[in-house]
């Protein structure tokens, strides 16, 4: 466990909580989804470490055990935080694994910093290329009314919103695909988040267009997604990302929800480890 100072402010720094297994293996950085934390990778870290990788997780600013400033929740700043982590830990030949919202940092990284430090990337149930449906993005899986409803729900009652959100997160067609204990663990992580951060990041992952970023992806890429994902539907996100990145690999996990890393960890881990070994 350590802390990385992601931003040096005039009056206050912004520190990120980082967990690092250490060792000499090739580094794999796991970027968590909204509104969770690095602890959401509990089913992946031991498996990847056992396979010989150095595994790094961190809590995005505003979430988990990291600092919770009032600003800095655009993808440019969030990607700067990721880059600071790589630089501070002097990580090279890295695989970035971005789950859900975390796929946005992976995409934006190529635009801001290029591929010098990177070996490969994974878009896991990820939000690119562009969630919000509109005239220039008719295939976006999130319409403006849905986005407004989510914002209003979180604003009005955090507890009720997160209770419903975590249920949908782990469900396919109304059927919960994890144990209630696992859902409660995710709910507890969600409740560690700052409301300011959650609302700002909701706007960021819904409204950020990553289509141009994806054209800059220049390393081996895996797109992995559950075909029962009702939170970030495959057809509007993973399928389009796979089409946008020439030569990318695609793994679709059958009957799996958005929270596939918890519901189907063995199948998910095996697919990603196979990709990492290439």
**Long-range Cβ contact pairs of 72-76 (< 8 A, separation 24 or more):** 72/7, 72/14, 73/197, 73/200, 73/201, 73/203, 73/204, 74/204, 74/208, 75/104, 75/105, 75/108, 75/204, 75/208, 76/108, 76/112
Percent of the chain as helix, strand, coil, to the nearest 5: 40, 20, 40
Whether residue 228 contacts residue 190, with contact meaning beta carbons closer than 8 Å, is answered with: no
Query: Which candidate in 7, 32, 258, 263 is catalytic?
Result: 258
Q: Could you give phi then psi for residue 214, rounded to 5 degrees?
A: -65, -25
Task: Give the separation between CA 210 and CA 47, rounded to whole angstroms.
Answer: 30
Residue 64, both tokens: 């988990």
Whether residue 258 contacts residue 232, with contact meaning beta carbons closer than 8 Å, is answered with: yes
- For this structure, is 258 an active site residue? yes
Which ranges of the chain does DSSP label H, i.e. alpha helix?
45-50, 75-88, 102-113, 144-156, 158-169, 180-190, 195-207, 211-214, 238-244, 260-263, 265-276
Query: Which candidate in 40, 66, 100, 198 is catalytic?
Result: 100
Match 């990788």 to its residue by tokens.
53
Say whether the peptide bond before residue 135 is cis (omega within 30 degrees of 0).
no
Task: Give the separation between CA 78 and CA 153, rounded to whole angstroms.
Answer: 24
Query: Which candidate in 229, 237, 242, 248 is catalytic?
Result: 229
Match 């796929």 to its residue by tokens.
103
Catalytic residues: 100, 229, 258
């Amino acid at each position: 466990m350590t802390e990385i100072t992601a931003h040096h402010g005039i009056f206050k720094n912004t520190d990120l909580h980082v967990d690092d297994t250490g060792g000499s293996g090739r580094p794999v950085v796991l970027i968590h989804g909204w509104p969770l934390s690095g602890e959401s990778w509990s089913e992946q870290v031991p498996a990847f470490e056992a396979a010989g990788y150095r595994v790094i997780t961190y809590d995005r600013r505003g979430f988990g055990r990291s600092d919770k400033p009032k600003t800095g929740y655009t993808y440019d700043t969030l990607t700067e935080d990721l880059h600071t982590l790589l630089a501070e830990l002097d990580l090279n030949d890295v695989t970035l694994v971005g789950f859900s919202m975390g796929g946005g940092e992976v995409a934006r990284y190529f635009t801001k910093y290029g591929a010098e430090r990177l070996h490969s990337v994974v878009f896991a149930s990820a939000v690119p290329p562009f969630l919000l449906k509109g005239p220039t993005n008719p295939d976006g899986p999130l319409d403006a009314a849905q986005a407004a409803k989510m914002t209003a729900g979180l604003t009005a009652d955090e507890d009720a919103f997160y209770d419903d959100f975590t249920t949908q997160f782990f469900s396919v067609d109304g059927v919960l695909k994890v144990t209630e204990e696992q859902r409660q663990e995710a709910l507890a992580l969600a409740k560690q988040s700052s409301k300011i951060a959650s609302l700002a990041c909701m706007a960021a992952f819904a409204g950020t267009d990553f289509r141009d970023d994806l054209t800059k992806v220049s390393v081996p890429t895996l797109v992995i997604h559950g075909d029962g994902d009702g939170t970030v539907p495959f057809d509007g996100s993973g399928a389009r990302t796979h089409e946008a990145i020439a030569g990318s690999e695609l793994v679709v996990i059958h009957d799996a929800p958005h929270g596939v890393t918890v519901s189907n960890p063995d199948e998910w881990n095996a697919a990603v480890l196979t990709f990492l070994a290439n």
